[in-house]
Amino acid sequence: MLRAFRDLLNDILPSDTAAPPGEPSLRLAAAVLLMEVMRADGGGIGADERHAAAVALQEQFGLADGEWEPLLRQAEQESRTAYDYFRFTNPLDQQLAQPAKVDFIEAMWRVALADDQLGVAENSVIRQVAELLHVTHGEYIAAKLHAREAQGAA
């Protein structure tokens, strides 16, 4: 499913340099939202969560092994100064088809579940992002269940 998200992104956006001035690129927007989930529990960013975010970015954007590190560093800086999610959800909402949005919500769940602890704050971040991406409640729940199934299979 995440591969379908990446393929869709590659079809829609051949290059990540097409972001309008003042708006984050699709990759950066996605990375910031994943960072928001990692930071939500207040316990710092764990290695398991960071690894899950790296895997999501690699799968969804076809990044090479070393490419996700600077992206996550930049996302962490952006996340610390972000005052809302709209700036980061808007590029995704405008440029992704509905199935790709649902796949992204599933990726957020995988990051949240990576440390085997799902906090209320993490759940809240994902719910808010899902609403801003116009993901239905049913799609939101299905994404959560898929992420939990994937975690159990790992």
Instruction: Give the mean pLDDT of 141-146.
Output: 96
**Structural contact between residues 2 and 60, judged by C-beta atoms closer than 8 angstroms:** yes
Mean pLDDT of the chain: 86
Q: What percent of the chain has pLDDT over 90?
A: 62
Residue 154: pLDDT over 90: no
Q: Kindly report, residue by residue over 44-93, the tens digit of the pLDDT.
A: 788 899 999 999 999 888 888 888 889 999 999 999 988 899 999 999 99
Alpha helices in the chain (DSSP H): 2-12, 26-40, 47-61, 68-81, 86-95, 98-113, 120-132, 137-153
Residue 126: pLDDT over 80: yes
Domains of the chain in sequence order? 2-13+25-153 (1.10.3680.10)
CA distances from 119 to 46, 51, 63, 65, 94 (A): 14, 18, 29, 29, 29
Provide the pLDDT confidence category of residue 19 given band limits of 50, 70 and 90. low
Provide the pLDDT confidence category of residue 10 given band limits of 50, 70 and 90. low
Terminal CA-CA length for the chain: 16
Provide the pLDDT confidence category of residue 4 given band limits of 50, 70 and 90. low
Report the pLDDT value the prediction gives residue 18, as an integer from 0 to 100: 53
